[in-house]
Amino acid sequence: MIEKNISLKAFNTFGFDEVAEEFTRFDSSEKLAAILEDNKNKSLFILGGGSNILLTKKLECLVLKNEIKGIKLIEDGDDFVVVESGAGEVWHDFVLHCISKNWSGVENLSLIPGSVGASPMQNIGAYGVEIKDVFAYLLAYNIASGKMEKFNAEECKFGYRESAFKQTLKGLYVICHVAFRLSKKALKNTTYGAIEDELKNMGIADPSIQDISNAVISIRKSKLPDPAVIGNAGSFFKNPIVSEELVNQLKESFPNIPNYPSTDGMKKLAAGWLIEQAGWKGKNFGNYGVHEKQALVLVNYGGSTGKEVYDLSTEIIRDIKNKFNVVLEREVNIID
Ligand code: FAD
Ligand code: EPU
């Protein structure tokens, strides 16, 4: 059944009250195919958990909510498994399922909101792991041909918060299943950021994957606003990748500027640090603003619009360019 003119407020973690002209759900690739057969040539928007979108106006299209469920063991090797998940599974539930089976690889990605199906879109990452590190393959429905196609990691062209599905293949496929190759031996990826300190605080010397998940959850809860309480979509901007030359120039004025090695001799800067130094952290514009604990997160305190938050992000980009000669890129998908 296709619903008409429904509010998407409950379907995006910013909580913006924009309307979808048409809205329906599918829980299998067969249902998806049938819906597309009946709605040829309509413009479409594929919706997962709505945790990485900024709605700026009415969606004059057919919104398709992915609800394909099911987790299947595809291969059971001596020291690894390949496990395939329906795209409509909640990402964190999938992580908890893997932990309960002692399959290691995604525990550092605990508590990232959203669906399994969206995880390859921007190659989700946190605490030293990106899904490209554990990715086996995905199955995606080609909207034009009506055929299901299999993609390996190389074909997905994963990068930092990037994939082919955000670039050359944008809007052409619906991701229906994603498979991961996980280790039966605990990988214990604890070197990133505050994980080791957090484990120490918890009094744990030899962590299980459950302990690592708990540590990540605890760090995330201390920094990031819970979308159920304050509307947000996580990091609004990507951390900028810049030349070493620019970092050296910036160090002359800002000796403590955080910077990390990136690929091809480039450096990654911390956008949150730049935004904080520029004085935006915690700035409140009535019902929207910049989060007080994490300057990379823009928030809707209730009743603001995507347009207002988008305009704020434009102001921030302009200011960071003026102050640091660094161009910030939005991470959140702007839907306009
Ligand atoms: P949606 O927001 O529904 O969709 C995102 C985009 O993907 C849209 O363009 C949509 O059309 C497209 N899409 C969704 N599903 C499909 C599909 N099946 N087929 C084709 N296209 C599809 N991200 C990180 O990487 N690391 C983090 O640490 C992190 N932390 C976050 C913390 C908070 C509090 C929040 C709110 C967000 C955070 N995010 C993080 C961002 C977000 O959780 C991820 O980007 C997540 O993968 C989005 O999933 P979703 O199902 O909500 O996608
Ligand atoms: N920082 C500040 N001020 C701030 C925020 C951060 O100075 O307000 C500094 C921190 O002190 C630290 C550095 O910036 O030196 C990095 O901060 P943090 O560890 O909090 O991580 P981040 O770079 O802000 C990234 C991801 C997150 C991911 C975490 C953990 C991006 C755009 N963001 O944030 O992903 O969870 O690392 O791995 O890469 C998301 O994509 O939505 C997201 C939340």
With the most atoms of ligand 1 within 8 angstroms of its CB, the residue from 51, 66, 223 to mutate is 51
Fold of the 71-223 domain: 3.30.465
At residue 193, the pLDDT reads 77
Q: pLDDT tens digits for 315-331?
A: 999 999 999 999 999 99
Q: Which whole number is the average pLDDT over 269-276?
A: 98
The kind and range of the H/E element at 16 are none
Rounded to whole angstroms, how far apart are CA atoms 160 and 32?
30
Q: Which residues line ligand 1 (CB under 6 A)?
A: 13, 45-53, 66, 87, 112-115, 117-119, 121-122, 124-126, 174-175, 224, 227, 232-234, 333
At residue 199, the pLDDT reads 96
Mean pLDDT of the chain: 97
Nearest residue to 52 via CA among 193, 166, 172: 166
At residue 213, the pLDDT reads 98
At residue 179, the pLDDT reads 98
The structure's pTM equals 0.98
Fold of the 231-335 domain: 3.90.78
Question: By three-state DSSP, how is residue 207 classified?
Answer: coil
Above 80 in pLDDT, residue 34? yes
Boundaries of every domain in the chain: 3-66, 71-223, 231-335
Ligand 2 neighbourhood includes 16 CB (under 6 angstroms): no
At residue 24, the pLDDT reads 98
At residue 286, the pLDDT reads 92
Residue nearest to atom 32 of ligand 1 (CA): 234
Q: Which whole number is the average pLDDT over 61-82?
A: 98
List 235, 304, 308, 313, catalytic entry: 235
Q: Which whole number is the average pLDDT over 212-237?
A: 97
Split at pLDDT 50, 70, 90, the class of 94 is very high
Q: Which whole number is the average pLDDT over 167-188?
A: 97
Characterize the bridge pairing of strands 173-183 and 80-86: antiparallel
Q: How far is the CA of 270 from the centre of ligand 2 (A)?
A: 7
Rounded to whole angstroms, how far apart are CA atoms 95 and 218?
15
Q: Is 195 buried (19+), middle (13-18) or exposed (0-12) by CB count in 10 A?
A: buried
Written as six digits, the tokens of 78 are 């001596």
Q: How far is the CA of 121 from the centre of ligand 1 (A)?
A: 7
Residue listed under structure tokens 């959850």: 217
Q: Which whole number is the average pLDDT over 242-258?
A: 97
> Is there a contact between 232 and 299 (Cβ–Cβ < 8 Å)?
yes
Q: Which whole number is the average pLDDT over 198-213?
A: 96
Q: Which whole number is the average pLDDT over 206-232?
A: 97
Structural Rg of the chain based on CA atoms: 20
Q: Is position 253 annotated as part of the catalytic site?
A: no
Ligand 2 neighbourhood includes 236 CB (under 6 angstroms): no
Of the listed ligands, the closest to the CA of 257 is 2
With the most atoms of ligand 2 within 8 angstroms of its CB, the residue from 198, 235, 313 to mutate is 235
Fold of the 3-66 domain: 3.30.43
Q: Is position 198 annotated as part of the catalytic site?
A: no
Sign (positive/negative) of CA torsion 104, 108, 114, 120? negative
Characterize the bridge pairing of strands 53-55 and 59-66: unpaired
Above 90 in pLDDT, residue 224? yes
Residue nearest to atom 24 of ligand 1 (CA): 124
